[in-house]
Amino acid sequence: MKVNEFASCLAVSQLYGAGDIEIKNLQTDSRRVQPGDLFICLPGHTVDGHEYASQAVANGAAAIVAERRLDLDVPQIVVGDSRFAMSVLSNAFFGSPSSRMRMIGITGTNGKTTTTYLIERIMEDHQVKTGLIGTIQMRYDGQSYPMSGTTPESLELQRSLSDMASKGVQLCVMEVSSHALEQGRVKGTDFRTAIFTNLTQDHLDYHHTMEEYRAAKGLFFSRLGNVISPWKEERKYAVLNADDGASAYFASQTAAEVITYGIDNEANVRASQISITAKGTFFHVDTFKGKTDISLRMVGKFNVYNALAAITAALLEDVPLEEIKASLEAVPGVAGRVESVDEGQAFAVIVDYAHTPDGLENVLRAVQEFATGKVLTVFGCGGDRDRTKRPLMGKIAAKYSDAILVTSDNPRTEDPLLILKDIEAGLVEDGVARERYELIADRREAIRKAIEMASPGDVVLIAGKGHETYQLIGGVVHDFDDRVVAKEVIRGRSY
Ligand SMILES: CC(=O)N[C@H]1[C@@H](OP(=O)(O)OP(=O)(O)OC[C@H]2O[C@@H](n3ccc(=O)[nH]c3=O)[C@H](O)[C@@H]2O)O[C@H](CO)[C@@H](O)[C@@H]1O[C@H](C)C(=O)N[C@@H](C)C(=O)N[C@H](CCC(=O)O)C(=O)O
Ligand SMILES: Nc1ncnc2c1ncn2[C@@H]1O[C@H](COP(=O)(O)OP(=O)(O)OP(=O)(O)O)[C@@H](O)[C@H]1O
Ligand SMILES: N[C@H](CCC[C@H](N)C(=O)O)C(=O)O
Ligand SMILES: [Mg+2]
């Protein structure tokens, strides 16, 4: 595409300089600009990309998209909102890849990653070539790619979708975070199905209030297709959790057909007769396309919700219920989600990604279903993130555990000890006895302590980091994997 073709993608834009220059690629980071690229200046949360335009030009940028005219000797497209322009230009450059495959997106505080994995498994088993994008990885066509967050920026997203489409991917299931919605990262991505898991407290550092957080998630449903026609091949579906109070608001925001799933309230896809053991979870499900019984190998009532969301999405893709059942029953679990560390020890060690009050409460409730002895919980809270969740998580840990080892998660730029103190404030407020908890900033040390304290029948829960293989302390990334550390400690423990 040429510079003037990019400029004409927007009704209101101003082109300065030559328009017939061919653009090789799009780039938002000056440090990664290659000769012939179009550099898009984004005003960020930390710095302003406009400040780096000269570096981009020095690296060979052929033209620039900016919100104001810059004093540089290359063609410039001046736009009102460069983040919005990025989504439009990326879509144009990569040929609207989302319209070439079926897109399923999942938003919600917890359960996104798990649900994407369940849907990926069902669709792959059904011979639909499927791509997956989310917190743990992006994978398609037999390849896995690392992710630096949950939902990529629109440019990276369109680039990846385009690569998927070129490799024959027919359906993509992806996590859509509230940050992504608020920043317009999925603008221009044509979703067929938008799924909502649940809304509980997290990210108040970014969204400030639960109302703002809900409104950010609401954008997913309000932006989902406006023209619905029974004669049009492409339908739009909003798949909502009937047991979450926010669903009524999302239903009011969308023009798509609303399909519900749930346990407690009336729903189009509803589970009953739930029974949870240490080995898995059984439930009966009634759907708009028949009924069946399902035995998941994953534990926890929350995984019944994740399975229901996946069942609903798969039914909307016309996968027969009996095939869905077979696929769900074959899933051993998702990395770092209620993952057992088993070195033959007489007590259970479980690594889980619970990093919100609701996530922690859910996993602890699941652990209580099968713990025959004490519950020993090792957890912390991330630095530079919602501080108000810290005392709440302290209270929840105390409510469901016999001993609590408060430790560091990813402290990032915060003082690790001060984060631990924020968690302790919740314990103090609830009058938790001093001998029931310890503050140990060193995560390896806290894991070692918990495992040393464990007796046969006990459960050691290590929460917060799940699949992560690093720990961010200050500006430094250290190798750290809860599962590896737990294994090392168990092997070193003398019985
Ligand atoms: C708050 C937030 O979302 N920040 C994201 C944002 O960073 P930013 O706005 O601070 O960017 P910036 O550093 O100010 O840079 C502005 C522009 O200048 C450019 N720049 C900068 C330096 C330079 O030398 N040259 C240059 O060109 C940058 O490339 C960028 O285009 O844009 C960056 C580039 O895309 C992201 O990496 C960054 O995510 C940060 C790391 C982050 O922590 N994001 C989290 C909060 C997040 O988005 N999480 C959600 C998951 C939440 C959930 O699970 O529910 C997610 O979807 O990942
Ligand atoms: N449906 C659910 N409801 C509540 N808690 C859940 C649910 N599913 C999973 N959890 C808990 O939340 C943790 C994170 O799950 P998962 O990774 O699937 O969520 P996510 O929404 O992708 O999180 P993130 O926002 O970090 O990407 C799990 O380890 C588990 O403890
Ligand atoms: N998507 C979440 C992940 C939190 C994981 C936890 N280990 C932490 O680092 O706080 C976030 O970015 O807030
Ligand atoms: Mg996730």
Atom of ligand 2 nearest to the CA of 334: 18
Best mutation site among 26, 29, 41 for ligand 1, i.e. most ligand atoms within 8 A of its Cβ?
A: 29
- Same domain flag for 258 and 179: yes
**Where is the domain boundary, 94, 121, 149?**
94
- Ligand 3, atom 8, residue with closest C-alpha: 382
Question: What amino acid is encoded at 247 in this protein?
Answer: S
**Number of structural domains found in the chain:** 3
Nearest to 199 by CA among 168, 185, 220: 220
- Same domain flag for 288 and 266: yes
Q: What is the pLDDT of residue 450?
A: 98
Residue 200 — pLDDT band, cuts 50, 70, 90? Answer: confident
Is residue 30 marked as binding?
yes
Kindly give, in sequence order, each residue whose CB lies less than 8 Å from that of residue 40, ignoring residues fewer than 6 positions away. 26, 27, 28, 49, 64, 65, 82, 85, 86, 89, 155
- Same domain flag for 151 and 237: yes
233 has a pLDDT exceeding 80: no
Nearest listed ligand to the Cα of residue 299: 2
**Where is the domain boundary, 94, 122, 157?**
94
Best mutation site among 385, 465, 469 for ligand 3, i.e. most ligand atoms within 8 A of its Cβ?
A: 385
- Same domain flag for 245 and 160: yes
3-class SS at 316? helix
- The domain in which residue 349 lies consists of 339-491
- Same domain flag for 69 and 103: no
CATH number at residue 232: 3.40.1190.10
CATH number at residue 73: 3.40.1390.10
Pocket of ligand 2 contains residue 151 by CB under 6 Å: no
Q: What is the pLDDT of residue 495?
A: 47
**183-187, 234-238, 410-414: range with lowest mean pLDDT:** 234-238
- Same domain flag for 355 and 368: yes
- Same domain flag for 106 and 86: no
CA of 404 relative to ligand 4 center, distance in Å: 25
40 has a pLDDT exceeding 90: yes
CA of 176 relative to ligand 4 center, distance in Å: 9
Query: What average pLDDT score do residues 27-50 get?
Result: 97
- Same domain flag for 73 and 215: no
Question: Rounded distance, CA 53 to CA 65, Å?
Answer: 9
Percent share of the chain, pLDDT over 90: 93
ipTM value, please give it. 0.95
**Where is the domain boundary, 43, 74, 94?**
94
Q: Over the stretch 245-303, which tens digit does the pLDDT of each residue have?
A: 999 999 999 999 999 999 999 999 999 999 988 789 999 999 999 999 999 999 999 99
- Same domain flag for 161 and 283: yes
Cα 225 to Cα 84, 187, 234, 235, 253: the distances in Å are: 18, 12, 10, 9, 11
- Ligand 1, atom 18, residue with closest C-alpha: 49
Q: Over the stretch 410-469, which tens digit does the pLDDT of each residue have?
A: 999 999 999 999 999 999 999 999 999 999 999 999 999 999 999 999 999 999 999 999
Pocket of ligand 2 contains residue 382 by CB under 6 Å: no
CA of 148 relative to ligand 1 center, distance in Å: 10
Q: What is the pLDDT of residue 351?
A: 97
227 has a pLDDT exceeding 80: no
Question: Rounded distance, CA 39 to CA 14, Å?
Answer: 16
Pocket of ligand 1 contains residue 47 by CB under 6 Å: yes
- Same domain flag for 303 and 451: no
Q: Over the stretch 348-397, which tens digit does the pLDDT of each residue have?
A: 999 999 999 999 999 999 999 888 999 999 999 999 999 999 999 999 99
Helix (H) or strand (E) run with residue 393 in it: helix 389-400
Is residue 177 marked as binding?
yes
Inter-residue contact 265 to 311 (CB < 8 Å): no
Question: Rounded distance, CA 392 to CA 357, Å?
Answer: 6
Pocket of ligand 1 contains residue 30 by CB under 6 Å: yes
CATH number at residue 406: 3.90.190.20
Query: What average pLDDT score do residues 86-102 get?
Result: 95
- Same domain flag for 15 and 121: no
- Same domain flag for 367 and 316: no
